Amino acid sequence: LSSMAGVGLMERSTSYKDKIEKGLKPHMGLFSYPILMAADILLYGSEIVPVGKDQKQHLELTRDIAKSFNHNYGDTFIIPESKIDKNVQTIPGTDGRKMSKTYDNTIDIFADEKSLKKQIMTIVTDSKGLEDKKNPDSCNVFNIFKLIASESETEKMRKKYIEGGYGYGHAKTHLLNYILELYRDERKLFSELLKNQDHLYRILEKGEKKAKIIARKVLDRVRSKLGY
């Protein structure tokens, strides 16, 4: 990408514009994120990239960069394909916006129970009371719950919302308990790994070696095409 064309392309990024419109100050990390994402994808020869709907444009940018380089210098990069799960195209955060660390609205399933509960209890809801009937589809708690719950469990909660007598506090507690049970084994493994960091670093080093071999082959192809 030429410098001016590259800047123009970054400024048109929907993710970048969305964050700026929501009051985030522009900075180089935010501005160049799509290029860094493209580098991570192309460097390791990725063929299929699972992304959310909001990241599709970034994947298209990656494909454009790879196609442009291949067109000018010959077959070098693999052209990756995106894979978007229609059921979880965008995950809602605790405030109803897209879940993102940038917005500080995430739910960390590996956090200790006290911290996890605090995150869940901050989920934004409307002011309807305990006895009021509620619309589950407009509720942040329900929309997060249905992403991880079974169909039968989702319908049970939906029914409680519609019938009334079911408060948002009940729903949040249900979500907390469901996460604790659903990810019980994963949370246990996560905790054990943190307590045995020597073992964890050995795993990371093994992965690093594999990644370096792949990256080196890609970089060698690039350098060869560029003549150095």
d(CA 120, CA 94): 7
Contact between 93 and 100 under an 8 Å Cβ cutoff? The reply is yes
Question: For residue 24, what is the DSSP state?
Answer: P
Give backbone dihedrals phi and psi of 97, rounded to 5 degrees, phi first. Answer: -80, 175
Q: How far apart are the first and last CA of the chain?
A: 20
Residue 195 bears catalytic tag:
no
What lies within 8 Å, CB to CB, of 138 at 6+ separation is 126
Options 17, 53, 86, 101, the catalytic residue: 101
E-only strand ranges, the chain: 48-50, 81-83
Residue 101 bears catalytic tag:
yes
Residue 175 tokens read as 């979500």
Residue 212 tokens read as 């370096």
What lies within 8 Å, CB to CB, of 63 at 6+ separation is 79, 80
d(CA 91, CA 84): 12
Give backbone dihedrals phi and psi of 49, rounded to 5 degrees, phi first. Answer: -120, 110
Options 53, 56, 98, 128, the catalytic residue: 98
- Residues with active-site annotation: 19, 98, 101
